[in-house]
Structure formats: C-alpha cells, structure tokens
Structure 1
C-alpha cells in the first residue's frame, strides 16, 4: 500500500509540474500572439501611411485579396470578390507583358518588379503603378500564393515626361545656333591657318573642340528622348575597339588635368558597334570618375577579352557607391543624393544613356563599388566573328 501511495504522489507531482510547464507555455504563446498582433497593426498603419496597396493572389483559386487602397487604385467596389481576370481586365497595352512576368516569377521563384498602366473601373482614369511581389514558400504546406505591394507612380511618370519634353525642345532649339557658331569658328580657323596666325589658330582649335563637346551634349539630350521612345539610333560598323580607347585617351589628356588617367595597353579587338556611341560611353565613365574622386587621384582604364567577350573598365579612387544606390544608378534621372554629392552638378541621364547604348549592342553594363572604397564601371560587348569583320 505504501508503494502505491508513493507512486501516486510521484505521478501527482509530475502532473503538477507538467501543468505548470503548460501554463508557462500558454502565457508565452499569449504574449507572442499579442506582439504579433501589435506588429501586424504597426505594419498595417505603415502601409496605409505610405499609401501602399497590398495584394495576395491564391494561385489555385485565382481569387485576389487586397486592402482598401488597392481597391481604390483599381476602382473596385468594396463588396466585389476580385478574380485574377478582374485584375488583369484593367490592364490594356501592358496586359501580356505583366501576365508573362508574373508567371515567370511564380514558376522560377524570382522577384516580380514591374511598372504598368491600369484603367480604373470606377472612372476609366489611367494610372501608372509599380508592383513588387513574390510567390509563397511551398514548405508552408498551404495553397500557393503570390503576394506583394504596389504604389501609384503616375505623378512621377508625368514629371519624367515633362523632363523629356523639355530636354527634347531645348535640344532642338539649341542645335541650329550651335551649327551656325561652329561654321563661323571653322571659317576663322581656316583664315588663321592661311595667314599663319598661330595664336588665333590655337584658340579656334580649342573653340571648335568645345563646340563639338556641346554638340555631343545636345545629342545626348536628344538620345534621352529617343531612348524613352525606343528609337535610339546605332550606326554599327566593324572596327578595332583599340581605336576608341586611343581617341578617348587623346581627348581626356586634353580636357582632364585634375587626375592621373592610366590607360593600360590594349590588344586588337574587333567589334561590330557604333564607334561614336562607345566613345560617348567611355568618356562618360571617365568624366564621372574624375567628378566623384579627389584631385590628383588615379583613374585606370583597362580592356580585357575572354570567352568571346571584351570588357572595358574604368576604376577610380573616389567616394564609392552604396549598394542601395547601385541598384538604381543606371535609371533615368537618378542621382546619388548625399552630403558628398550635393555640390556636384548633373542631370542623372549620362549613365542611363550608357545603359541604353550598351543594351542596344546586346551587351552588358555594371558597376562594382563599396561606400568609400572607389568604383569600377564596366561594359562588355561580344567580339565580332571573323565573318562580320570582312566587309
């Protein structure tokens, strides 16, 4: 009997201990649940304050759950059950592109990040939206979901269009007087050489060089407008890329005296490209390197080949670029904002044009940098096959 009582007492103590353990676990769950609700509420308030729409597509059923602001963006009524067909029904010209991009992101589990136009159901007004989304983790064991956020970028798009229109109009208006000015300077240059007036000949040569630079700048402005319409023109010919390096070297030695520019030897490399446009890209890289690095520092220009590609790089010893800014550095009108750059002028179109030019050559462009550790801007082009260099 004593043994049974002892076992009963031990069992009772074990049950008391288990109940205490469960009580503490329940308290922890309640506390964690409370924190989770607080964080959810904080996230909801942040999304509302940022005027951000949220969406959650059940891939199996095709039903999309959205917040109130998302309904407002698309013009959906409060009681409408939104299907994927309803959502895509507001897209017109961008429908196929966004449909393909979404399914690619779902199929390959990559980030969906797109800008597109919608026509609101309520008033048929056109709005530009930017959406970012991803597919849910299958390890969660529930139906597959595609979820994310979106913002209204209509005002930003309108501002970009105004900038492009202004650039296009001003550039066209400036070309005629600049062409006339160049003609007068060339006449003066011809007369000074004929009369052997060396001083005037030297001055006019410098003036012609500056007029040419201004012409290049205006052409760049016009290219911005053309690139926005997908109409940037490339005059592709077969040539040795070494010629571009040499021309740019001569140009920078004349125009940049604040830095030591080191051009590494380049072997013959034939490419099928627009020579003037590649000069423009390389000059932009070098001018930026000089603009964003200390005086008397070094700038290295290299050209290497491998696996059927040629890479041209410009490395500086400047302030560097943060990872955040690197993601947007080639976007139109984007400029790095900070205390170190507030006194540096620019329009935010140079690198955008460089990317458009290299993309037009089926090439690649990029930057390697760290904040405070200098930057290396590079572009790559396919080397022209022999069959394309013999004409």
Structure 2
C-alpha cells in the first residue's frame, strides 16, 4: 500500500502551528479522532461502572472496548489486559506484588539499556526483601546487549528487559532472552513503551510473560497498559482496598479508571488500524498492514537524518543492527542543550537529555546529560527532515 503521509498529517491539529516535531519518543502528537473520543466521554452521562443505569453501562463499555482494542494491538487475551495511570505505576505495582514471594538470595535481572521505569522498581523491590540484582550490560559501541545466559540461575525470579531502547533505539532479540528465561524457570517482563510506537506488537511471538506499553507514545493520551496471561495474573496478589474487586484484571486497577483516556487510547489504536487495509479481515490484520507501511516510511526518514548527521560531523550513538527510527547524537563543539535551543528557535522540537535512561547514557559515556534525541513518528515527512538538517547546518 502507498503511505500517504500528507493525508495522515492533515488529521493532526497540532501540526497546523507549523512546528516540526522530532520529540515523539517522549510523547507523540494526537489525531483529531483521539481528542474527539476523549471529549465525547467527558461530556457524556457517565458514572462508575455498573449494569443498571445508562451512565454505568457507558463506563463499562469504555473499559471493555479498551481491553478489546489492546488485545488486538498487543496480540494478547483481553482478559489479561490491565489498564492504569502509566507504565511506571503499573511496573511498580506488579514488582511489589511479585516480590511478596521473593526471599533473600533470590535474584532479578535488569539491563543497563532500559529506561529507569524498568530498572528501579525491580531494584527497589529486590532491596526490600534482600534479593540480589544482576545487571545485563551492553556494548557502548554497537548498542547491543550482552548474553543473558550467564546471569541466569535457579534463583532468578524475573528478567526485566526492553524491547526497544528509548535512548538509542536498539531493538534486542527479545525472543531469545524470553526463551532463556523460560528455560531457567523464570518470568520475563518486557518494556514495550518505545517498541510499540514503531512496530507491530505480538506478545506471544516475543515470548513475553508480561508486556507493558504507553498509548501516549503512539498517538494516544497518557495512560498505561499491561498484558499477561490471565492465569499468571491470578497467581499475583497486589495490595488493594478491601471493597475493590479481586477478580483479574480488575484487582490490579487501583481506583477509578480514567474513562476519557481509555476512550482516547482505543481511538488511537483504531486510527493506526485505519492506516492499514482492513479488507474485512479485522483490526489485528489492519494493524499488521499499517505497521508494515509505517516502518518503511519511518526507517527511510531515519536513514536520511542519519546520513545528514554524519555529513555534519555529528557523533551518532544509535548503531544496533535492529533499531527504531530514533537517533541520539552530539555535535562536537556544541552542548546538546544549546543545539536543542538553536532548533527550537527554528520551530523544531528535538529535545536533549538522558530521558530517564540514566544507566544507558552513563554506559555510552554521556553521563546524566545525554545528548540530542531525534525521533521520527508516523506524521513526520521529508519537509520536516529538510528543516532539521538545514537548521543543524547553520550551527
């Protein structure tokens, strides 16, 4: 199918102000359909979920539709879809629930490639019970993770790994790691926040026992989604209020859910599916077609940007064999914060920093300051790239 980026851009009101957005890895812009879905819920008669009044039924429908949408989006059983405030909050909640069964001497594995949201909750949960943290390192030259196998023992309780680095874009071989984890009798917890913004998610193909993502990275509002087999969730018992439901997945959903955000997240999934050719095959098939087109478009623009950065003498830190259209770069003689400001003056949004990937930034020698991050999104076009490279050339 032909990727019509002009038609796609026309559905994003934020782009009308003329700015070029390369800040998608921190949060994407949203199409009109997402805002409309959120407004419709906020202005409708709605209440706490139930089955008696229309307001209760409307809330129930919003939640049911969100679970179904993310069942299709993640390739998972909707009965195992947990909805929450953010990926960080969901990870903290699940890590604490899992740690209830850990003992001193048990072990957890985290990687230096990950966002801190898939590191610190596990480190702190381990510290609270006297468990040991084992660190999986990566090659700072290539961005590729080291081998997981030497770190696994019969005391390993969870392997937390990213499906894509939000800092340098590396997409590790997740399936190889989840197979090793399963072979060692342990669980895998896969951070798909950055991955889900650039590739079709298939939880079963990834082998992830738990997969988490955040809709605001892929054209939706701020919220978090966690997916696992219902049977696994049944075995975990988070702290919760006494009157709240103890059924799965509701037992993990603390407080009243943000119905308007869930409606917006569902609309984002439907928008992405609309990019693909449905042909009556359903939303999952449409999403698969859409991501094929989106990846081709985004990778082409990434290659253009990378070539332009190299021509300008920039150092590019994103060199893994498989990676997202996200580039981390620094330009000799220029502080990254100053480069960011220079771009902002040209109405180009490209932030600088370590973006909560502190361990990764330190590992590649950038300390806590990081560098300039340039991210491509489905609405990025060649004119945006032209503007970016031209502005960088005037430094």
Per the TM superposition, whether the score is higher than 0.5 is no
TM-score bucket (shorter structure)? under 0.3
Which structure is higher in strand share? 1
Which structure is higher in helix share? 1
Greater Rg, structure 1 or structure 2? Answer: 1
**TM-score, normalisation: structure 2:** 0.21
